[in-house]
């Protein structure tokens, strides 16, 4: 009788361990493309991304660099005061996207150009993403719009 209880207990533990491993594997599989690291232009200059790596790039849109191409293709440069990265985006930009304003783009590097698949811009006059503020403060070029 004891060996039957012991065998049942072992079977339950093995089944629970297998279920746990399966759950962890499914969660990892689901997150494989969902986690994108943030980088500022200066960080990219110091530590370039790997080929094909999807990440978020943020900073200020450099004044005088916004150029509209054929169709919906737009190119501009993003800076954090220390470095500048050329960006290309095909699609419709947010209404509040403008030169000299903060933005974050998701995409990957193709050569020396960041090709964005998504662009996020500020949603009011004083908002700027926390990551962009931190990278601008690091470069010493952040100006608080509320002061």
Q: Could you tell me the pLDDT band of residue 143, with boundaries at 50, 70 and 90?
A: low
The answer on whether 142 is annotated among ligand-binding residues is no
Range of the domain at 6: 1-33
Number of domains in the chain: 2
Q: Are residues 19 and 66 in the same domain?
A: no
Closest CA to 48 of 102, 113, 97: 113
What pLDDT does residue 93 have?
85
What are the backbone angles phi and psi of residue 11, rounded to the nearest 5°? Answer: -60, -40
DSSP 28-92: HHHHTTT--EEE-HHHHHHSPPPTT--EEEEEEEPTT--EE-STTEEEEEEE-SS-EEEEEEESP
Question: Residue 65: how many CB atoms within 10 A of its CB?
Answer: 15
The C-alpha atoms of residue 26 and residue 117 are separated, in whole angstroms, by 26
Q: Are residues 19 and 65 in the same domain?
A: no
Give residue-wise pLDDT tens across range 105-138: 999 999 889 999 999 886 555 566 677 777 777 7
Q: Are residues 44 and 114 in the same domain?
A: yes
Give residue-wise pLDDT tens across range 41-63: 888 888 888 888 888 898 888 98
The answer on whether 29 is annotated among ligand-binding residues is no
What pLDDT does residue 75 have?
92
Q: Are residues 77 and 14 in the same domain?
A: no
């Amino acid at each position: 009788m004891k060996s039957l209880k012991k065998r049942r207990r072992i079977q339950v533990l093995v089944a629970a361990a297998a279920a746990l491993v399966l759950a962890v594997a499914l969660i990892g599989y689901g997150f494989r493309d969902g986690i994108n690291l943030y980088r500022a232009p200066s960080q990219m200059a110091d530590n370039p991304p790997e080929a094909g790596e999807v990440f978020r790039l943020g900073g200020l849109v450099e004044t005088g660099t916004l150029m509209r191409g054929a169709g919906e293709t737009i190119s501009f440069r993003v800076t954090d005061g220390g470095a500048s990265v050329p960006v290309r985006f095909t699609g419709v930009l947010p209404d509040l996207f403008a030169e000299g304003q903060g933005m974050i783009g998701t995409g990957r590097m193709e050569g020396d150009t960041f090709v964005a698949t998504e662009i996020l811009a500020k949603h009011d006059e004083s908002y700027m993403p926390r990551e962009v503020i931190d990278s601008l403060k690091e470069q010493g070029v952040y100006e608080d719009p509320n002061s």
